Structure 1
Amino acid sequence: MSISPILLLGGTGQIGHFTIQALRKRYPDLPLLIGSRNRQKAEQVAGALDNAEGVVIDPHADDLGLGQRPIGAVAVLYTDHRLASLRYAHARGIAHLGISTGLYEVAPEIAIHMQRPDTAAMVLGYEWLVGATTIATLTAAKAYSRVASIRIGALVDEEDWGGPAVTEDFERFTSVISSVLARRDGAFVWRKGEDAGFAFRAIDGTELTASGFSSIDIAGLAAVTGASDVEFGIGTGISSSRRAGGAKSTEIIIELSGLDDAGKPLRTRHAVFHPGGAAPLTALGISMVLERLAGLDGKPATEAGLFFPYQILEHGEYLERLTQEGGRLMALPCA
């Protein structure tokens, strides 16, 4: 079977590096286009790989400077302020994944999709670590007949803030809007100041303070579960693994409350853990989304539509691959 190449825009960065590793682990012969505005960087990365080509991206050109070459799917791993990659993919019916758009920035992207909603699949990959949070939360929520509240605390190790693109994203998010989205008592509200944060405990029980963050997970989880209270926060500190003398890792603490199948009150705590940190966990989600968009696994490629990652990924398969990488979804004791 002839497979068109996957185009990775920003493939020269840290997340691009781990995404390439994840894709090549399962599909060693998959052709890749490593896109960058820097020819030297693109060619350097591609030169170290088989069946890969470095390409210079022109965000001002309708064809991104790529001409008429076939593309299987597009992933943009940085903030594309011009939406050049989305316009390119949408005009040609190519499936597209973006991971760096802020919650308040989605309207222009959705507007492009709405003009021709039947042209290709478009994935809003802005969930925290591209599906890791939502898939784990929805898995934990299976124990409930009704979910009342969801509180998610993402622990980012002080040594694990990623590369320049990640830093740029967070600086933009915090400078443009000072309020933080949450759902309280069934209403979506914008919180400020001390009202925007909360405390949560890491895997090893250490208490941390989370600053509220307007993750699109809030909207997706509220829609799926109907939870009347949903909030998301990021805490920076020392991960539980590093505190125990090991290497940095990434943790996502998920606290749920509601009713069990018998109608009795239920509270649970779970954690998503990955020993490599945030970048390889993000790459796991990106690679699995691209797999589904392009039909690399032999199943039909994802049909046209607008999706979150958790809507097109098979949750059990995702958690199995997480375990294969040394991570896991674990149950934690409640206070």
Structure 2
Amino acid sequence: MISDAILLMGGTGAIGRETARALRAIHPDVPLLIGGRDLAKTRQAASEIGNAEGVAIDARATDLGLGDRRVSAVAVFYADHRLASLRFAQSRGVPHLSISSGVYEIAPEVATYMHSPGTAAIVLGYEWLVGATTIAALTCAKSFSQLQQVTMNALVDEQDAGGPAVAEDFERLGRMMPAALTRRDGSYIWRSNDDAKAQFRAIDGTAVEGTGFSSIDVAGLAVATGAPDVQFNLAMGVSSSRRRGEPKSTEIIIEMAGKDSDGHPLRTRHAVFHPGGAAPLTALGVSMILERLAGLDGKAPTPPGLYFPYQVVDHASYLSRLQAEGGSIVSLDVE
């Protein structure tokens, strides 16, 4: 067991608390620092989480106001425009994970890494729900010898909008990225206006109207699979579970086309499903990344480098824990 705490900046929010819960479920003794601007709120959250301490974060201070307190890893759950958390992590030589930036915002982080590439692991956790889409897609891609098309369609239940930080992220990303990063015929383009409109079927077959969204999943999967056509679409409405009269859930429809191992045309359609909604599914990815970064699983911590979530987390372990939480990858009929 490690003795240095994991710092969760913005840990009082929904995803931060879910991450703490997920870490506690597997590693009950790992110490946590719950960081935020409001010391009283962080202390309250820490008390509720247990084996945790609430601390006030000073983003203008080099040490974040933590003094010489040691940490084993840093996770930030809000848009850290100052990159204060990243600079702090690099100064301490500890790994860093952030989850709130958009495709257009990663240049400062990449530049920071490039100037000190050997310091520690940095994870760009900006994939949709921090690995849920890419890990599932790469699992489904194993059925193909050659992939031509990957389409990811995320359905967010209107009752699952998240907390203030999530709302702020969506507002900022929607304002700054009205066009959707897409790979089409091998070229990276930006879909906008009518070209960005999309329709897909939810798990229960209901037609859903969506629009293109600039998720970094597009870039990661395009490179990982070699598919010349990759896009991500987003819709907000009623999840399939709620249409059945059950609580809200989150679902990601993954459609693929290409050739099977015999060279024959193959089309597949799957869905990633989590009965708890977006927050616990996001927390699953975050907690497993932190587990790897800090070496909580007994293996050597992730070495210095710049990573996507799917490059850090063991896919089989992720899918096993997803199933343990009531989630799954569901095979769906192809249109």
Report the TM-score, using the length of structure 1 for normalisation: 0.99
| 1:201-252 deviation digits (Å, cap 9, x = unpaired) | 0000001011110000000000011111000011111100000010000000
Please tell me whether the aligned partners of residues 38 and 56 of structure 2 are also in contact (alpha carbons under 8 angstroms). yes
Quote the residue 2:92 is aligned against: 92
Matched with 1:254 is 254
Q: Using a 3 Å threshold, how does the CA distance of structure 1 residues 319 and 2 change in structure 2: closer, same or farther?
A: closer
Show CA shifts across 1:10-65 (max 9, x none).
Answer: 00001011111101111111100000011111011112233210000000000000
Distance in 2 (CA, whole Å) between partners of 1:170 and 1:264 is 40
- Count of residues in correspondence between the two structures: 335
CA separation in 2, counterparts of 1:169 and 1:304?
28
Aligned to 1:206: 206
CA distance, structure 1, for counterparts of residue 78 and residue 2 of structure 2: 29
Gaps of 5+ in 2: none
Partner of 2:182: 182
Q: What one-letter code is carried by the residue in structure 1 that aligns with 2:244?
A: A
RMSD between superposed Cα atoms in Å:
0.7
Q: Match of 2:152, as an amino acid?
A: I
Corresponding residue for residue 43 of structure 2: 43
Q: Tell me, yes or no, if the aligned pair for 2:34 and 2:54 is still in contact at 8 Å.
A: yes
* 1:229-308 matches, cutoff 5 A: 229-308=229-308
- Match in the other structure for 2:29: 29
Question: Which 4+ runs in 1 deviate beyond 2 A?
Answer: none
The superposition leaves residues 76-130 of structure 1 with CA deviations (integer Å, 9 ceiling, x where unpaired) of 0010011100011012111000000110000000000000101100000000000
Q: Which residue of 1 aligns with 2:134?
A: 134
Aligned residue type for 1:71? V
Cα deviation 1:311-335 (Å, max 9, x = unaligned): 0111011000000000001110101
Partner of 2:171: 171
Structure 1 CA distance for aligned equivalents of residues 268 and 161 of structure 2:
28
- Partner of 2:49, secondary structure, is coil
**Structure-to-structure mapping, 1:111-130, within 5 angstroms:** 111-130=111-130
Q: Is the 8 A contact 2:182 2:232 kept in 1?
A: yes
| In structure 1, C-alpha distance between the alignment counterparts of 2:103 and 2:202, rounded to whole Å | 26
CA contact (8 A) 2:78 2:100 kept: yes
Aligned residue in 2 for 1:106: 106
Q: What are structure 1's unaligned runs of at least 5 residues?
A: none
Check the 8 A contact 2:2/2:30 in 1, yes or no.
no
CA distance in 2, matches of 1:100, 1:191: 22
Shift of 1:197: 2.1
Amino acid at match of 1:329: I
Residue type matched to 1:121 in 2? A
Equivalent residue number for residue 317 of structure 2: 317
Structure 2 counterpart SS, 1:48: helix
Amino acid at match of 2:43: E
Give the aligned partner of residue 4 of structure 1: 4
Which amino acid counterpart does residue 211 of structure 2 have in structure 1? Answer: S
SS of 1:280 mapped into structure 2: helix
Normalising by structure 2, we get a TM-score of: 0.99
Aligned to 1:113, what secondary structure does the other structure show?
Answer: helix
How far apart are the structure 1 equivalents of 2:254 and 2:210? 13
Equivalent residue of 1:161, what SS? Answer: coil
Say if 2:74 and 2:94, in contact at 8 Å, map to a contact too.
Answer: yes
- Equivalent residue for 2:56? 56
Match of 1:54, SS state, is strand
* CA–CA separation in structure 2 for the residues paired with 1:248 and 1:278: 10
